A and B are shown apart, each in its own frame.
Chain A
């Protein structure tokens, strides 16, 4: 499987390079796009100093983790977002006919090029905005990877509903975007029921907030709890997808692999 994933990455890059200018424009554009938020927070913190324990630097850490984690997911697990159309258009057939673990095969076979911009932006922002200690340099990549897996689990979980209740593309897309948005704001601004939702249904807390706390102030206890919760989320996604396969109805649409 590792060999195949390596090939997917190489081929996707090669396909993107067929349109080199568009590739560069997308990558740079995405990085630029994200940078605008730096100004927003700069202006805001100049006015108010601190927001429930978060200062400018902490918010930049939220952004680094989110951008890099999201970027990894978009680049290396880029097909998760498209699982719904793959299911309802019957395009799962191609993957089902291959002797490779199904979910990794589907997820890795697509690369969304603008994700490179997010990934690069996240890493650069982390290196420039944070106080670097050996522990943080070790934790950051690990937690980005974990965030990417969780983003992917959210994609698989909500898109798998397409097996059960018809096209869930819009729902899953909204969930993905909402988690992404929540993730880039300090978790401490939310109160009451909404924080419960953000630990479960829209788990921005698991994806970004808790990892941010870990980088700022590491504790084994919190780290293991996070791992457990993430594992549960991923397991749930896999089970829902597996269960859905039994209901898969295929279909006959024209199409090529892009």
Chain B
């Protein structure tokens, strides 16, 4: 295991703003704090070479967890071991072996060409000038940076910048790469491109990738395993495929008919019904697919039928909307 986390907890204190003048005066003397439990008793482990998606709504505790793992924050309790190290005690030693891209925090110097930032990072990560040059050449090739490597970063497009950003985080050949929302604000084409790059990187160098994203495509296309975090608690840890089935064990059925739909079955909701066509949703926890098919065929004359799983975006949207839902297994829609 390259990463092991056990019973992790982290709370933040934020001052409560008292209302009114008397409240403000009172808060000068004695401040009241509200405690926010950002991460509650989170445990998981990651084997070397895995691509793991870490998802959850804004404020669920994803970033806090990543920051705890990378040694930025001190945990209140629990143990973290990354590459056999304790992140906040061995922060410097660890930072030589991990790479991080926080989509919202740049490592690049705004007014200078990315090449200069790479050069500086080479020194920061103890690479010799020759090593840095070799590494920059490699990354330039992999991420196709040649055309804009010597332009000031402020003149790059967002897509070019994020490619430089990821390349910058790889300058010291880290063993784990943390990507915090790398695709934020990118268009579809650029997103696909970045995904390909990350995938290739993982296949070729065996780097472990730890990814947070709101983007369903990122998760589905890149990762086999997903951890869902909500209100500081890990509510799902398993394969992406399984999540789709067990968290939302539903099918969408599109049918074309010769007359109006005639169906009344427990567990099946009619989403749309028009003469000659209908859209149904079947909840497979309550009804068997075979029963649905039989009922459809028995009462209707069917011309065409299409059964599909719920798209990943909707799975994620669903998870985000049900913010207070309990742990794995008790998930009811």
Contact = CB atoms under 8 A, between A and B. Distances in A.
Question: Is chain B in direct contact with chain A in the complex (CB below 8 A)?
Answer: yes
Interface of A: 3-4, 7-8, 11, 14-15, 18, 90-94, 96-100, 105, 166, 245-246, 248-250, 252-258
8 contacts: A4-B124, A8-B120, A94-B102, A96-B70, A98-B95, A99-B126, A166-B15, A256-B110
B153 A256 contact: yes
- A-B residue pairs, 8 tightest by C-beta: A15-B111, A256-B106, A99-B95, A99-B92, A256-B110, A96-B72, A99-B96, A246-B74
Given A4-B120, A14-B116, A257 B92 contact: no
Contacts of A245: 74
Contact of B106 (A18, A98, A257): A257
B108 A99 contact: no
Contacts of A248: 72-74
Contact of B112 (A3, A14, A94, A252): A14
Main secondary structure of the interface of B (DSSP, over half): mixed
Interface string B188-221: 0000000000000000000000000000000000
B105 A255 contact: yes
B67 A93 contact: yes
**A90, A94, A245, A249: which has the most chain B beta carbons within 10 Å?**
A249
B123 interface: yes
A79 to B, nearest CB: 13
Interface of B: 12, 15, 63-64, 67, 70-74, 91-93, 95-96, 98, 100, 102, 104-112, 116, 119-120, 123-126, 152-154
A96 B71 contact: yes
B123 A257 contact: no
Contacts, number: 86
Contact of B124 (A98, A250, A255): A98
B57 to A, nearest CB: 13
A92 B71 CA distance: 12
Nearest to B96: A99
Given A4-B123, A91-B105, A11 B112 contact: yes
Contacts of A255: 104-106
Contact of A96 (B91, B93, B109): B91
Nearest to A19: B111
Given A99-B96, A99-B125, A94 B111 contact: no
Nearest to B104: A254
A93 B105 contact: yes
A100 B124 contact: yes
Contact of A256 (B70, B71, B92, B108): B108
A252 B92 contact: no
Contacts of A92: 72
A7 B102 CA distance: 24
Query: Which one of B64, B70, B124 has the highest number of Cβ atoms from chain A below 10 Å of its Cβ?
Result: B124
A250 B109 contact: no
Contacts of B74: 245-246, 248
Contacts of B111: 15, 18, 258
Contacts of A100: 92, 124
Given A18-B111, A254-B104, A249 B93 contact: no
A90 B67 CA distance: 11
Contacts of A246: 74
A18 B152 contact: yes
B61 to A, nearest CB: 12
